[in-house]
Each structure stands twice: as C-alpha cells, then as structure tokens.
C-alpha cells in the first residue's frame, strides 16, 4: 500500500463519528441537474479512474470489496448510476457520510469527469466470493419478507436496476446492510428513496435481521464474482 493510501486510510478512521453539517435545503430524491446528471453524460476513462480509485481503495480496499464486518461496503459490482448518484449526493451534502466526504470532494478527486472515470474503473472489478453474512437463524423468514417487501424494486436476486438507481444488494455485507436499513428507517440517510422509507417503517428488529441475512446470501451471476484468492494487480506493489 502506498504511503498516500495509508495516510488516507488513517485519516478516514480518525474521521469516523465526526459530523459534516448538511446544507440547509430540501432534498428531492433523484432530482434532475447537478453533478449526477453531468457525470452520467460523460464517457468514463478507466485508466484515469484507476488513479482516482487510489483514494477509494484505502477504505473500500483495492478489490472494491469493502470489509466483511460492514465497516465499509462492497462497491465492486455496483451499478454505475448508483455509484454516480451516491458520490454526487455525498459531495452535495445530500447524504451524510462524514468519513467519505473529505475524500470525495472535487479538490481531492476532481470534478464530474473524475466521477465518471472512477465509476468506469469500479465497473471492471469483480465481486467478493465471500461477503459478510448474518447469523443464519431467521433466513427462511427473511426470504418471505424479501419477496413481500424488496423484490419489486431490487429484483428476485437482489440485482437492483441501474436505470432506476436501485442498488445491487446481493452479496453486500450483512452488517453494512443492517446499518443502512436502520438509518433509512430512522431518517438518517436523507437521500434514501422515499418509497423505501415508507416500506420499512413497520419492520421489527427480528424482521431486519431476517430480511438482510437472507439478502446478504443472494448470489451474483458467476461471471461477476472474482476467483478465490484474487488480488487487484493494479495495487500490488512490485518487489524492488
């Protein structure tokens, strides 16, 4: 890991728990305009995106797998439009993410073209063959809850929808899913789809565990999954 990447990682850990003050304005989910729309119209350059991704790799890991304990999510395999929207929302302070915010700024990674570039690079990363899953005690209940509440938007296999900005949630780390679900329910994730906010209000703690344990076990298509033991060659230091 390069010194710059190590410094970014240390700074990110130090920032966990700090606050980024949200702008005083009303957020409209997936409204038109801004960096999201700009970046979506640009052709991404994965070669430059690899350089931008060095900032991201400190937390999301060189492979884009995040951490299985859910501290950081897996972003490998995520839909490009979803990644663009989340980056743009964090930069515009429409999504509160104090850990990521300083490293997502234009002064750190560049403007809309850099967003398009880094997303183009992430697009080629294969997914973790062993993501973090839940305790396994309520999986059957979770299967039914998923069918009744989640399948309509995220699909039967959790694949989401790039055009509708519905994220891929299959093979996402269980603990990360739980944290985000609770923040959506409590209104802490301000850029959440309002339809989902309404959908999850009556979920109990057992319901949350069940449906997200089941979700974490949904498998991506085999061609999207990295082979056992794969390491991103772009970030392996060459021996002197």
125 and 154 in a single domain? The answer is no
Q: State which H helix or E strand residue 34 sits in.
A: helix 34-40
The secondary structure of residue 125, as a DSSP letter, is P
214 and 99 in a single domain? The answer is no
What CA–CA distance (Å, rounded) separates 187 from 192?
8
Structural domains of the chain, count: 2
Q: Which residue has the tokens 């900032």?
A: 55
Residue 25, domain member (yes or no): no
Residue 40: which CATH number?
A: 1.10.760.10
Q: Which residue has the tokens 């679900």?
A: 181
67 and 147 in a single domain? The answer is no
What CA–CA distance (Å, rounded) separates 167 from 32?
19
What CA–CA distance (Å, rounded) separates 55 from 118?
10
Q: What does the block give as tokens for 163?
A: 């055009």
146 and 115 in a single domain? The answer is no
What CA–CA distance (Å, rounded) separates 127 from 60?
12
The secondary structure of residue 235, as a DSSP letter, is G
pLDDT on residue 237? 65
Domain that holds residue 183: 139-224
What CA–CA distance (Å, rounded) separates 56 from 153?
28
Q: Which residues contact 7 (CB under 8 A, 6 or more apart)?
A: none
123 and 144 in a single domain? The answer is no
Q: Residue 57: which of 17, 4, 105 has the closest Cα?
A: 4
Total length of the chain: 240
Q: What does the block give as tokens for 223?
A: 């061609």
End-to-end CA distance of the chain: 14
Residue 91, domain member (yes or no): yes
Per-residue pLDDT of the chain (240 residues; tens, 9 = 90+): 454 544 454 444 444 444 444 444 577 887 877 899 999 999 999 999 999 999 999 999 999 999 999 999 999 999 999 999 999 999 999 999 999 999 999 999 999 999 999 999 999 999 999 999 999 999 999 999 999 999 999 999 999 999 999 999 999 999 999 999 999 999 999 999 999 999 999 999 999 999 999 999 999 999 999 999 999 999 986 444
pLDDT on residue 29? 81
123 and 152 in a single domain? The answer is no
Residue 123, domain member (yes or no): yes
143 and 57 in a single domain? The answer is no
Proportion of the chain in helix, strand, coil states, percent, rounded to 5: 50, 0, 50
219 and 161 in a single domain? The answer is yes
pLDDT on residue 98? 93
């Amino acid at each position: 890991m390069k010194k710059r990447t190590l410094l970014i990682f240390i700074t990110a850990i130090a920032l966990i728990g700090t606050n980024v003050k949200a702008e005083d304005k009303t957020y409209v989910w997936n409204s038109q305009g801004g960096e999201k729309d700009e970046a979506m119209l640009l052709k991404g350059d994965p070669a430059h995106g690899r350089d931008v991704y060095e900032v991201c790799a400190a937390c999301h890991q060189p492979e884009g797998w995040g951490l299985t304990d859910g501290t950081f999510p897996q972003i490998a395999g995520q839909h490009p439009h979803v990644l663009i929207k989340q980056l743009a929302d964090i930069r515009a302070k429409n999504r509160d993410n104090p850990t990521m915010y300083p490293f997502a700024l234009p002064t750190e990674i560049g403007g809309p073209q850099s967003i398009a570039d880094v997303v183009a690079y992430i697009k080629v990363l294969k997914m973790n063959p062993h993501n973090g899953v839940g305790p396994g005690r309520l999986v059957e209940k979770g299967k039914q809850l998923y069918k009744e509440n989640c399948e309509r938007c995220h699909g039967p296999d959790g694949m989401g929808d790039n055009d509708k900005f519905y994220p891929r949630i299959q093979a996402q780390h269980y603990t990360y899913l739980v944290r985000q679900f609770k923040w959506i329910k409590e209104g802490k994730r301000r850029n959440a789809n309002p339809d989902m906010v309404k959908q999850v209000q009556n979920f109990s703690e057992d319901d949350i565990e069940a449906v997200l344990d089941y979700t974490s076990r949904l498998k991506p298509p085999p061609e999207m999954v990295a082979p056992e033991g794969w390491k991103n060659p772009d970030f392996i230091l060459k021996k002197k």
